[in-house]
Structure 1
Amino acid sequence: MPSHVTAAALLDLPLWGVDLSMVHVTRADLHASRVEAGVVHHAAGLNDDELCDVDGVTVTGPERTAVDVARHVPFEAAVVVADGALRRTGNDRERLLAVMDRMRTWQGARAAGRVVAFADGGSESVGESRARVQFERIGLPTPRLQAEILGADGELYRADFLFEEENTLGEFDGRAKYQRYLEPDEEPADVVWREKRREDALRGMGYGVVRLTWADLRRDAIVRERFMAAFGRGEAGRRRAATRPEG
C-alpha cells in the first residue's frame, strides 16, 4: 500500500506546505476510496514500473509520487515535490509525462497536469521552486535555471535564474545554499563575502540582480517592483555593453 506523502519522504523528495496530519495510501484492491483510523485509502491502479523499494518498503516511484501529490495538494506545494522528482531522475520529463498520461482521466488530473507542465528539475531547492511559482503568479517572464555566464576575466558564474531578454539575474538566498558552498576550513561569512564579490562582478557586466529570501516569497508586490526596477537596469546595462568600444 504505497503512500504518496510517505513515499515522498522515503525518496527524499522535498516537502513544503503539505498536510501531514493524515496518511495517504494507494490501493489497487479497493473499489472506492475511504478514510479509516486517520488513513486515507485511495482506490487506484498501480503499474509495476511505478513502484520501487526503499529499505524494504514498497513505495510509489518519484514520477508517480509527484503526480499523486499534485492531484491532491495546492499548486505551489505540488511544484516543490515535482521539481524534486525531476531533479532526482535527471530531469526525465518523458517518464513523468508518461505517468501523467496514464492518469489523465483520474480525479485531480487537470491540476496535476498543470504542475507537470510547470515542473523543472533545474530548481535545486524548495526556495527556488517556490520562487518560480511566485514569478508565474506575479507575471514575470519564465527564467532560465542554473544559467552559466562567462565573465570578462574568464571566470564562470552560475545564476539561479536568468531572465535573458531583460538581462537580469535572480538569486534565492537560503541558509542551506550557503552551507552547500562552504569550502574546507571556511566560515559562512567567507561564503557571503565570495557571493558579494560575485554579485559585484555580474553587476559590473551590466546585469540587473535581485536577491530573494524566504520572507520575500510572501511579498508579491514588493518582489515584482524590485524585478521591474532590475529589468530596467539590466536593459540599460545591455545597451552600455553594446556601445562600449572594443579593446
Structure 2
Amino acid sequence: MNTPRLILSSDVSLAGQDSRILARLCSSGRYARVRRSVYAEAEEWHALDEPSRYGLRAAAFQLTTKRQPVFCLESAAMLWGLWIMGAPRKLHIQTSYANGGRSRGDVARHLEKPGDNIVACGPLLLTDKLTTTLHLITRLKFEQAVSVCDSSLHLVRYQRPGNIFTPVDIPTVEHDPSWNHDAPQGPPLLKSELLAAADALPKKAARNRAVAVIDFASGLSGSAGESFSRVRMAQLGFIAPELQHEFELRDGRKALVDFWFKDQRKVGEFDGRAKYLRQDWAGGKSTADRVIDEKNREDQIRAQNVGVFRWTWAEMQDLVGFERLLRAAGIPKR
C-alpha cells in the first residue's frame, strides 16, 4: 500500500499559487483534507485502512507543528504494535512543563516531566515500550489493559526489517516505523521490569491496578482476542486454561492451540480473521487453502481423543452467550 503524498497549503503559497485552490479541489472531491492546511489525493486517502489513515494524520501533524512531537499512550502503542482496539480517535502527544501546549481538536497533550523514556523509530519520536505499556495499563479497562500487557510480554517470531534514522542523543528502536503493525515490535518486556516500574508509581491505586494487570498477563497470549477471552473466562469464574499447548500431529507437524483444558481434554480456539487474511502466514497460501489446512489440523487434533470448540469476537463479547458456550463444551467453573 503506497503512502499518499501530503500537500501543504504553505508549500502551494511558496510556489506562488493561491493556497485556496486546495480547498476548492477538496470540495470537488479530488483532494481529501487530512487535517487543517494539509491535503492528499482523495483516491489514495480513501484506499487506506484505518491505521494507515491515522498514521497519515500523525505525519501531517508532525509537518505542521513547530516542535517535533513525542507520541505516547495509544499513539505510541500503535507504533509498538501493542494490542489496542482499533485506531485511536486522537493523536496522543507527550509534552513537558517547559513546552506546554493544550489539547485541542484531534490532538490530546499529556503533561509529563522530561525523562530518558523517549526513543526514535525512523523519523518519529515516541515513549519507550515500558513507559507506553505502564501508562496504558493504569488507564484502560482491565481487559484492554491485559491485552496491552500481554502483547508487551509477547515474543514475536517475525518482525519487519528496520529502516532507521538516527536523531542526535535519542536511542533508536530497530523496527519499521509503521502505524499498521500486526505483531508486537521490539524485544519483549519482562514481568520483573513492569513490576519494578509499577512499584515506582506515585499513587497507590495506580500501583495496585498495574500489579493486578501484570500478575494476570501472559506473554503466551497470541492475540488481543485470546487476551480478551482469557479475561472473560476469569470474570465468569471458569478454570484457567493452559496457553499455547503443543500437539504432535500424525503428519509429523506440531500444532499450538490457543487454550488447553487438560482434565476435560478440550481445546478452545479463538477464531480471529487474521490467520486467514495475512499474507505472511502459511507461506502465502490462498485463503481457501488456509481454511483447508486449518480443518486438517483440527481433524488430526480431534483424532487424539480431544474435543475442539471455537468462538468469535462477537460470541466472546456476549457474556451470557460465552458462558453458555463454555458450559456446553464441558468447561467447569472454579
Shift of 1:37: 2.4
Shift of 1:60: 1.4
Q: Which residue is equivalent to 1:244?
A: none
Q: Which residue is equivalent to 1:168?
A: 266
Shift of 1:176: 0.8
Hey, what's the Cα distance between the residues in 1 that align with 2:260 and 2:119?
Answer: 36
**Deviations 1:169-204, CA, capped at 9 Å, x for gaps:** 1111112112344334x3212211221122222222
Q: Which residue is equivalent to 1:183?
A: 283
AA aligned to 2:119 is C
Shift of 1:54: 1.6
Structure 1 position 202 matched with structure 2 position 269 = no
Matches within 5 A, 1:64-143: 64-87=131-154, 88=184, 89-90=187-188, 92-103=190-201, 105=203, 108-143=206-241
**Deviations 1:101-138, CA, capped at 9 Å, x for gaps:** 22262663332322222222222222122212211222
Structure 1 position 220 matched with structure 2 position 287 = no
Q: Secondary structure at the match of 2:256?
A: strand
- Which of 105, 113, 120 is the matching residue for 1:53? 120
- Please say if residues 34 and 40 of structure 1, whose CA atoms lie closer than 8 Å, have aligned partners that are also in contact: no
AA aligned to 2:307 is G
Q: Which residue is equivalent to 1:37?
A: 104
Alignment gaps of 5+ in structure 1: 233-247
AA aligned to 1:9 is M
Equivalent pairs counted in the alignment come to 228
Point out the more displaced range, 219-228 or 207-216.
219-228
Sequence identity of aligned pairs in percent?
Answer: 32
Hey, what's the Cα distance between the residues in 2 that align with 1:36 and 1:12?
Answer: 25
Point out the more displaced range, 107-116 or 5-14.
107-116
Q: Which residue is equivalent to 1:15?
A: 84
Shift of 1:224: 2.3
Q: Secondary structure at the match of 1:231?
A: coil
Q: Which residue is equivalent to 2:329?
A: 230
- Please say if residues 182 and 188 of structure 1, whose CA atoms lie closer than 8 Å, have aligned partners that are also in contact: no
Structure 1 position 192 matched with structure 2 position 291 = yes
- Please say if residues 151 and 157 of structure 1, whose CA atoms lie closer than 8 Å, have aligned partners that are also in contact: yes
Hey, what's the Cα distance between the residues in 2 that align with 1:35 and 1:71?
Answer: 22
- What is the RMSD computed on CA atoms of the aligned residues? 2.9
Hey, what's the Cα distance between the residues in 2 that align with 1:198 and 1:79?
Answer: 29
**Deviations 1:200-222, CA, capped at 9 Å, x for gaps:** 22222122211111211222223
**Of Structure 1 and Structure 2, which has the larger fraction of its residues in helix?**
1
- Please say if residues 83 and 120 of structure 1, whose CA atoms lie closer than 8 Å, have aligned partners that are also in contact: yes
**Deviations 1:29-63, CA, capped at 9 Å, x for gaps:** 37xx9964255544445642x33222233321112
Point out the more displaced range, 206-215 or 86-95.
86-95
Hey, what's the Cα distance between the residues in 2 that align with 1:100 and 1:224?
Answer: 33
- Return closer, same or farther for 1:24/1:86 CA change in 2, 3 Å cut-off: same
Alignment gaps of 5+ in structure 2: 1-69, 155-183
Superposition TM-score, scaled by structure 2 size: 0.60
